[in-house]
Amino acid sequence: MATKNNKKRCISAVDPAIHRKMGRKMDVLYQSSGKELGCSEIGKDEDQTKEMKDRLSKMSIVMHTMLLQLASSESLLRRVHVPGFLLAVGGKVALLDMDSPGGYVARIRRSKPLEYPTCSDDYVSRIVPLMKLALTGLVIMQKTRVDIVNTEVELELSLSLRWMLTASFVPLTFLLTKSSTAACS
């Protein structure tokens, strides 16, 4: 369906370009014991539109949701990490790492993009860093899993006492309503 819709699209005044619609799901989810520990987004080629919409914005939202689902306490939130791999076929690979060391803001760190091997001459020099990158992601997920398993579940007495990492986006209408309510008091 998306391919049919995308065949008609092109950039005006420029050569026709194929754009794919942004999907709603990640391409790969890494799970252990029913918990989502990481994700991957794969692109067919290096398309800047897909890079911005699909990989950077969608992936960060999904990673943030995973981070909140993994953290059952504020102390656990400060320790867990959610890795994400960005892959472009015929292009580059990068590792994203989301955490919240302060407990109130989520941060994403991105590795330097690594290129795939293009021929037998550069195979070893390029495949070894790619394997190290994959191993780094695996180690991050294993450490997060160990942290989750070894954390004691806290007793919750009331929903009002529960901590929560605040949303990244606060609608302007909410802020305007708050300021007008405070002005009336």
* pLDDT for residue 26: 77
Return contacts of 160-163, CB within 8 angstroms, 24+ apart: 163/73, 163/74
* pLDDT for residue 19: 45
- Show the tokens assigned to 148: 């989750």
φ and ψ of 168, to 5 deg:
-75, -25
Its pTM stands at 0.68
Alpha-carbon distances, residue 12 vs 19, 21, 140 (angstroms): 13, 18, 44
Q: How far apart are CA 7 and CA 158, in angstroms?
A: 53
Q: How far apart are CA 26 and CA 93, in angstroms?
A: 16
pLDDT tens series, the chain, 185 aa: 556 655 555 544 444 444 445 555 778 889 988 899 999 988 765 555 655 555 567 888 889 999 999 988 888 999 999 999 988 766 789 999 999 998 888 999 999 999 988 888 989 999 999 999 999 999 999 999 999 998 887 766 665 555 666 666 655 565 566 555 555 55
Tell me whether residue 15 is exposed, middle or buried, using C-beta atoms within 10 angstroms of its C-beta: 0 to 12, 13 to 18, 19 or more. exposed
With b meaning 16 or more CB within 10 Å and e meaning fewer, what string describes 85-98? bbbbeebebbbbbb
* pLDDT for residue 80: 94
Residues shown for the chain = 185
* pLDDT for residue 71: 87
